[in-house]
A and B are shown apart, each in its own frame.
Chain A
Amino acid sequence: MSDPILELLDEEGMSGDAELRSILNAMRSEATSIRPIPSPAVANLMSPRPARTPRRALTGHRRIVTGLIVLGSLAVGAGAAAANPDVRSATQHFAQTVIGVLGSAGVPSSPMPASHRPAPLPRPTSTGAPSHPTPTDHPGSNNGQVGSSHAPGSGAPSSPPGKGSPSAHPEPSPAASGHPHHP
């Protein structure tokens, strides 16, 4: 690469001017004599970036070790619980409770109280008695036992009309019949 000062002087036809050339050389040497020290920010950019591959390998090993520790802790806790008779009896009691609750929920019965259930629509019969007396119409009846003693549609109510719950009574409402139920 040629000297930029010589190139400049050649471009302007002054390559023979030794005094001008020495002045430009002195100017360049003086202007570039100081080498600035890089600031911390610049020096940070000049340093190579840290490698990332070993860090990823450590991260993968850390995951495996953490998983093994969690599994070991769970195994130790389960073994200790199985060795304790109190825990075993409590577990059995809890299982029986759950089975009992699920078993009672499987029986066809209404979860609603009898007083909150809507009254069945009256079916016109010759005797005027309700054709479908429900077991819950009888106060104090047991849901699980009444259904077996009276078959539905037999026409034999378990209680005479007028003695059951007012809401479950098959007769029309007092306002419709003109007879007040509660004088």
Chain B
Amino acid sequence: MGSDAEKSEGDLLAERFSAAYRRLSPRVLGYLRLHGVEDPESVTQDVFLALFARLPTVSDDEGVRTLTFSIAHARIVDHHRSRTRRPAFVPFDPDADPRQVASAEDAHGAAIGEQNTLALLHRLGDDQREALTLRVVAELSLDETAQVMGRSVGAVKQLQRRALEALRAIVSSEAAHE
């Protein structure tokens, strides 16, 4: 009787974890990529390993989502703190490398402008980018975003407004420049 209860409880936990991974892992990976985390795939796995231990503490899907991005946010903070203690790596710039030619994927990406959308985010401040990615990529509500960032709802609302205005100004200036 007790073994049946343990078995069903373990199976239920595994099912919840699988569903959370299928639903949230692409968003967690994108969230980590947008914040410049090195080896975002490995950090994504670490986030979900940490989530599994705390999964029984939350009951609904919204709680799981908030908890997952709280863990991911903590990983990003740890990453940036550790990066300040190490020498910064210079990212590879394919334009400066004369050995490479543009691939078909790059040509296609440039054609549809997808590379520019992520590049736009990197022009924002850290907090503005954090608020915008949590709202757009993680699909968190205003309250959940404030909870993950550890800020008030008003502060997050102000950050996202400034982020959208900055984004709009960048797009307008680029359009005028072209």
Contacts and interface: CB of A to CB of B under 8 A. Distances in A.
- Asked if chains A and B come from one complex, the reply is yes
A112 interface: no
Given A8-B160, A23-B117, A46-B18, A31 B25 contact: no
Interface string A140-182: 0000000000000000000000000000000000000000000
A42 B121 CA distance: 30
A8 B135 contact: yes
A173 B2 CA distance: 83
Interface string A1-20: 00011011101101001011
A5 B3 contact: no
A49 B137 contact: no
B69 interface: no
User: Per DSSP, are chain A's interface residues mostly helix, strand or loop, or mixed?
Assistant: helix
B3 A26 contact: no
B113 interface: yes
A31 B34 contact: yes
Interface string A44-63: 01111101110010000000
Contact of B49 (A8, A42, A53): A42
A56 B117 contact: no
B48 A31 contact: no
Interface of A: 4-5, 7-9, 11-12, 14, 17, 19-20, 23-24, 26-28, 30-36, 38-39, 41-42, 45-49, 51-53, 56
